[in-house]
Structure 1
Amino acid sequence: MGSKSITIPALSKIKVTTDEVDLGQDNAGDSQSSAVLLPQLHTKIPNVVNSKGNYLYTDDGLEILDATGGAAVACIGHNNPRVKAAIVDQLDKIEYCYSQFFTTPPVEKLSRYLTESTGGLMSRVFIVSSGTEAIEAAIKMARQYFTELPEPQLQRIRFIARKQSYHGNTMGALGTGSHVARRAIYEPMLSPHVSHVSACYPYRGKNDSESDASYVARLAQELEDEFQRVGPDTVCAFVAETVAGATLGAVPPVPGYFAAMKEVCTRHGALFILDEVMSGMGRTGTLHAWEQEGVTPDLQTVAKGLGAGYMPIGALLIGKKVVDVLDHGSGAFVHSQTYQGHALACAAAYEVQAIMQEEDLLANVREMGDYLGISLQQRLGSHPNVGDIRGRGLFWALEFVKDKEKKEPFPAKSQLAKRLQATGVQKEFCISLIPGNGTADGKDGDHIILAPAYNTTRAEIDTIVDRTEKVIKAVLG
């Protein structure tokens, strides 16, 4: 039985529009829907064909204000000429080589910058291509640490994370996080060695009569109780987002929270892992969000603000304590990925960091972040369906409720956050928002996130708040 030959279409004849893929004269009259596996197979999404600064331009003429930098990624805006030049310059030298065999100047420079940015507290860097990959590496590194101690602790196989958290979408990262909807169909396949404690979520978790100190003590006791339940000597690490990200919606920790959590970990010999994929690299006003908490993690993940979207990149920063154990043990990390330490990605990320430093963008994040928070409170704080406005730096969220006094969330079936996002990109509003659902309890509740670029201006903040208010009123009245 012979095989059938497939005719490959000429690349020059493929023309793509929002509505169809036209394969040219050889397939006259034969069109098909997008070949991309879109987020929703039966829903068209805008086709962005150009960008500049904080705006995206679609093929049907819309100019959309990117108030979130995608997923809090494009932190210096789009189409930056310096980053483009750095990429081209690196292309003229070496775009990729296998990091198991070689190193390159860009990976060395970026890694040195990252370690020095922590004052040497994090002494090595493992560069990957995404935040999820960084979390996977952190999980593996935590396990390996305990196998290489002078007296190995092989029974340590468990992780404790937090409810309404998100750490990525690969199996290990998904199992560590607590995004109910994304976990649902994979639940039987996820690791049984992860458990979850309450998030630091004062809007719903803190009692009216409770002080910050009492609330922190209660959460620390919950973590202690979970250590005792699973066996303190079985836990590799506690994992948390320094400022809660997409699933909970830009929730900063109350004062003293992370110091209390780390104390529990230290007492039981477990590692302390902070996920700063979304909140790190300047998003909350300091390069590392943990700088504002008076703690240092044993392992830290970063990604989005590292390369600002110009190339896919993430990193695991490894504390000196962990590095020293490997140094006196096997001397190697039992993990690798094809594109780790990608030269082109590192060159782009290094230039992004140089721009942030030279233009003093962290100061702008703090100043414009305060202005954004105040503006949101003034314009939307009294809205009957806005239950909470929270954030830090240029990372803010609005949580929506049916009843403000009772804090009653909208049911999941209303898909409120998705409707707000879909409304935002319509021509009447032209603003991109990050939607989040399951805010209240993992199932019900909605929020939207605003995460503008670090070089945003006061005028752009005014426009963001104005358009956000119009979207909310259009959907909720």
Structure 2
Amino acid sequence: MSQQAALLHRSTHAIPKTAVGGQGCYIFLEDGQKFLDSTGGAAVCCLGHGNKNVQQAMIAQINQLSYCHTAFFGTQASEDLARFLVDSTGGKMTKVFVISSGSEAIEAALKLSRQYFLELPTPQPQRTRFIGRTPSFHGVTLGALAAGGHILRREAFRPLLTKKTSHVSACFAYRGKKDGESDADYVARLAAELDAEFQLVGPDTVCAFIAEPVVGAALGCVPAVPGYFRAMKAVCERYGALFILDEVMSGMGRCGTLHAWEQEDVVPDIQTIGKGLGGGYAPIAAVLINERVVKVLDAGTGVFRHGQTYQGHPVSCAAALAVQKTIRDENLLENVRRMGEYLEAQLRAKLASHPHVGDIRGKGLFWGIEFVKDKSTKEPFDAKLGIASLIQDTALKPEYSISLYAGTGTVEGVRGDHVILAPPYIVTQEEIDIIVNTTVRVVTDVFNSIH
């Protein structure tokens, strides 16, 4: 590739290697390197690469109809995907809005929750606020960035962000739970914090509380302690606010059930999904909407005041439906659970004792490793060292050839380093062994190099 690349890459200082093919859990690079995609990109490639069923479904849809505008026509592809998704919730969610990315899904969810209060028989136009959590990440568009609590990603754009969003603490037991504090007491403390935030901003001004069932990029696969989400939803119900769960990264099977909320004994009013929905075969994300919200909209104007050119794109919908049917027909959620248990066991056996591994956490095939300077105090490394990025960059080298998805900001949103592992749902035990053993090599070599 020319060093004068026309494409604006993620950095203007470096041009990445070119991927020229992929099959199963592997990506093939232009220089012959065979790369084990142990993060599925950004927890996207749930079926791996080169799935023939998905490819054929996309080709068939392209041959039939590639695009039409939803202001004029519907398509069977979008209807079929929506029906599949509604049925997958047992009818608990009754409508689906399909767009192209997780950030777009969050934007739509925020606007829908605002419109819900305008469409009530007695409208509540004073509801203009949202409560999120910190650290958290909900997307890069301005509304999603405001809803999120990722300080580093927000910093440059903070003057552009709405002041209508405030944040409470995430449920992060490793760093947030006090010594000797039970799960129940920790949940009660976090619920009291959310309640106090409602009181502070005005209980009747909040549209919704938004949270990730398992925090992805911002914290590195942090699940909540038992009972947390039930308690948060109860606070929302106390004040009439909606309860939004962002499952863009943690949903669609990644954590061992198709919807992460199935494990939490709660049902959201609005749910966002994305990465594992289409598995990377086409850009797609969606908003799943509870009947509570649908009924209000239907009894009001019946019109969601939000539309996008590529919403319900038929090729993307055909791809996503083929992905979801493959997950169902090949019983891949069972493999997620089984291989997830094996991945956890191997990570703990081979990395938990490392002097700079502070915590290993996650669910299903969604695991994070947090690195610390001092294990006893949980003190993070100096942010200037860029530990997580160094580990990610090292893993990409030919002698390792795996992906370790780097993240920072686990401490006060600024310091702290972690990496994520999120292999495809088709991963085998042999591939898990390669992933874990190579991760151990990378971590060992990186820390040896900086001491």
Q: Which band: TM-score by shorter chain?
A: over 0.9
2:43 to 38, 60, 72: 72
Aligned residues: 448
- Quote the residue 1:399 is aligned against: 370
Q: Does 1:309 align with 2:280?
A: yes
Q: Does 1:141 align with 2:112?
A: yes
Q: Does 1:101 align with 2:77?
A: no
Cα distance, 1:181 vs structure 2: 1.3
Cα distance, 1:352 vs structure 2: 0.3
Distance 2:271 2:72 in 1: 25
Which structure 2 residues correspond to residues 263-274 of structure 1 after superposition, within 5 A?
263-274=234-245
1:193 aligned partner, one-letter code: K
Aligned to 2:7, the other structure's residue is in SS state coil
- Quote the residue 1:371 is aligned against: 342
Post-superposition Cα deviations, 1:190-229, rounded to whole Å, max 9, x if no partner, equal: 0000000000000000012100000000000000000000
1:417 to 365, 377, 388: 388
Which structure 2 residues correspond to residues 17-56 of structure 1 after superposition, within 5 A?
17=1, 20=2, 33-56=4-27
2:181 to 210, 219, 224: 210
1:220 to 178, 191, 201: 191
Post-superposition Cα deviations, 1:366-424, rounded to whole Å, max 9, x if no partner, equal: 00001000100000000000000000000000000000000001121111111101000
Distance 2:398 2:425 in 1: 25
2:71 aligned partner, one-letter code: Q
Bigger CA drift: 172-181 or 154-163?
172-181
Aligned to 2:35, the other structure's residue is in SS state strand
- Quote the residue 1:459 is aligned against: 430
Cα distance, 1:347 vs structure 2: 0.3
Bigger CA drift: 383-392 or 114-123?
114-123
Identical-pair percentage? 58
Cα distance, 1:180 vs structure 2: 1.1
Bigger Rg, structure 1 or 2 = 1
Distance 1:61 1:402 in 2: 37
- Quote the residue 1:384 is aligned against: 355
Cα distance, 1:45 vs structure 2: 1.6
Distance 2:447 2:77 in 1: 49
1:66 aligned partner, one-letter code: D
Bigger CA drift: 277-286 or 35-44?
35-44
1:138 aligned partner, one-letter code: A
Cα distance, 1:43 vs structure 2: 1.7
- Quote the residue 1:166 is aligned against: 137
Aligned to 1:429, the other structure's residue is in SS state coil
Aligned to 1:92, the other structure's residue is in SS state helix
- Quote the residue 2:58 is aligned against: 87
Cα distance, 1:33 vs structure 2: 1.4
TM-score (norm 1): 0.93
Cα distance, 1:44 vs structure 2: 2.6
Distance 2:380 2:15 in 1: 29
Aligned to 2:198, the other structure's residue is in SS state helix
Aligned to 1:459, the other structure's residue is in SS state helix
Cα distance, 1:36 vs structure 2: 1.0
1:98 aligned partner, one-letter code: H
- Quote the residue 2:297 is aligned against: 326
Distance 1:191 1:411 in 2: 31
Distance 2:411 2:34 in 1: 33
2:52 aligned partner, one-letter code: P
Aligned to 1:446, the other structure's residue is in SS state strand
Distance 1:367 1:398 in 2: 20
TM-score (norm 2): 0.99
Distance 1:150 1:347 in 2: 38
- Quote the residue 1:359 is aligned against: 330
Post-superposition Cα deviations, 1:406-447, rounded to whole Å, max 9, x if no partner, equal: 000112111111110100010110101100011121000000
Give me the CA root mean square deviation. 0.6
Distance 1:100 1:368 in 2: 44
1:176 aligned partner, one-letter code: A
Post-superposition Cα deviations, 1:93-124, rounded to whole Å, max 9, x if no partner, equal: 00110011111011000000111111111100
- Quote the residue 1:9 is aligned against: none
Consecutive unaligned residues in structure 1, runs of 5 or more? 1-16, 21-31
Distance 2:426 2:6 in 1: 36
Cα distance, 1:185 vs structure 2: 1.1
Distance 2:409 2:10 in 1: 18
Bigger CA drift: 32-41 or 229-238?
32-41
1:272 aligned partner, one-letter code: F
- Quote the residue 1:197 is aligned against: 168
1:244 to 197, 207, 215: 215
- Quote the residue 1:408 is aligned against: 379
Aligned to 2:232, the other structure's residue is in SS state helix
Aligned to 1:432, the other structure's residue is in SS state coil
Distance 2:145 2:333 in 1: 31
- Quote the residue 1:11 is aligned against: none
2:64 aligned partner, one-letter code: K
Cα distance, 1:40 vs structure 2: 1.1
Distance 1:473 1:441 in 2: 26
Post-superposition Cα deviations, 1:305-355, rounded to whole Å, max 9, x if no partner, equal: 000000000000000000000000000100000000000000000000010
Distance 1:277 1:403 in 2: 33
Aligned to 2:415, the other structure's residue is in SS state coil
Q: Does 1:433 align with 2:404?
A: yes
Distance 2:44 2:143 in 1: 23
Cα distance, 1:57 vs structure 2: 1.0
Post-superposition Cα deviations, 1:258-306, rounded to whole Å, max 9, x if no partner, equal: 0000000000000000000000000000000000000000000000000
1:73 aligned partner, one-letter code: V
1:449 to 406, 420, 429: 420
- Quote the residue 1:286 is aligned against: 257
